[in-house]
């Protein structure tokens, strides 16, 4: 199911206790339940577990862009505060905890760091066109999808993974990526397309 290097990474992580919480399939589902407990009961213990698992990762994500440990810490704390406040809106049955936390962290990077307005579509707008498949618009995909996507990511060729990493963490534009990796722009674009074609195929080609 997982490639060799991924398994090794997981084994190493086992010794770190909390680290495994979201790297294995079962505990990942647990993470969604923890968020549900925060939402329904304001469960501080559950919140601490989510913090211990995601705090360092969100901090690392912020650090890649802001390059200042204090600012990264602040943005991480803001992200976790938002997780706390919005936990009740998270759908634990369908929710993908990592995706949900990623979108919160990304939006905070835009709002607080880039200080840019963030116009977005509104599913409650009368002009909004809903999906013919009623489950598709419950944005976060099933946990099953989450597991399959993780596996597919591990199996992507390293050069395609590297591009995704640069795009998501460094917010590198396609032309910046091309410059950094000394590749023609066309190659960067086609590798990104290949990567997402493959990831979408894993999830049953939903587009």
Partner 1 sequence: MSIQHHISEELLLDYATGQLSEGWRIAVATHLALCPSCRRRLAVMEMTGGALIAEPVDEEATQEAASDESASWESLRKRLAADRAHTPDAERPVKAKASSQAGQTVLPEPLRSYVGGDVDTVKWRPLGRGAYHLPIETDDGTARVRLLRIPAGKPVPEHGHRGRELTLVLSGSFHDGDDLFARGDFEEADETLQHQPIATEGEDCICLAVTDAPLKFRSWLVRAVQPIIGI
Rounded to a whole number of angstroms, the minimum distance from the CB of residue 92 to partner 1 is 15
Backbone angles phi, psi at 183, to 5 degrees: -125, 150
67 versus 118: smaller Cβ distance to partner 1: 118
Query: What would you report as the CA-atom Rg of the chain, rounded to the nearest whole angstrom?
Result: 18
- Give the nearest distance from C-beta 123 to partner 1 in angstroms: 9
Least Cα distance to 59 among 147, 51, 206 occurs for 51
Return the number of the residue (174 or 183) whose C-beta is nearest partner 1. 174
CB 65 within 8 A of CB 169: yes
Shortest Cβ distance from residue 152 to partner 1 (Å)? 9
Q: Which is nearer to partner 1, 50 or 182 (CB)?
A: 50
| Of residues 17 and 182, the one with the C-beta less far from partner 1 | 17
- Cβ 182 to partner 1, closest distance in Å? 19
Neighbours of 177 (CB within 10 A): 22
Answer yes or no: are the C-beta atoms of 113 and 58 closer than 8 Å.
no
């Amino acid at each position: 199911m997982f490639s060799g290097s991924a398994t090794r990474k997981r084994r190493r992580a086992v010794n770190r206790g909390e680290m495994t919480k979201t790297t294995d399939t079962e505990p990942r589902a647990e993470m969604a339940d923890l968020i549900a407990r925060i939402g329904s009961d304001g469960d501080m213990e559950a919140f601490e577990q989510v913090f211990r698992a995601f705090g360092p990762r969100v901090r690392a994500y912020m650090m890649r862009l802001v390059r200042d440990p204090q600012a990264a810490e602040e943005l991480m704390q803001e992200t976790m505060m938002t997780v706390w406040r919005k936990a009740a809106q998270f759908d634990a049955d369908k929710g993908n905890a990592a995706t949900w936390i990623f979108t919160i962290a990304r939006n905070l990077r835009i709002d607080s760091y880039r200080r840019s307005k963030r116009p977005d579509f509104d599913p409650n707008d009368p002009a909004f066109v809903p999906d013919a498949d009623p489950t598709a618009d419950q944005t976060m995909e099933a946990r099953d999808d989450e597991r399959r996507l993780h596996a597919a990511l591990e199996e992507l060729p390293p050069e395609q993974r590297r591009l995704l990493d640069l795009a998501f963490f460094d917010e590198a534009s396609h032309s910046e990526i091309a410059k950094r990796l000394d590749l023609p722009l066309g190659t960067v674009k086609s590798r990104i397309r290949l990567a997402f074609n493959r990831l979408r195929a894993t999830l049953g080609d939903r587009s």
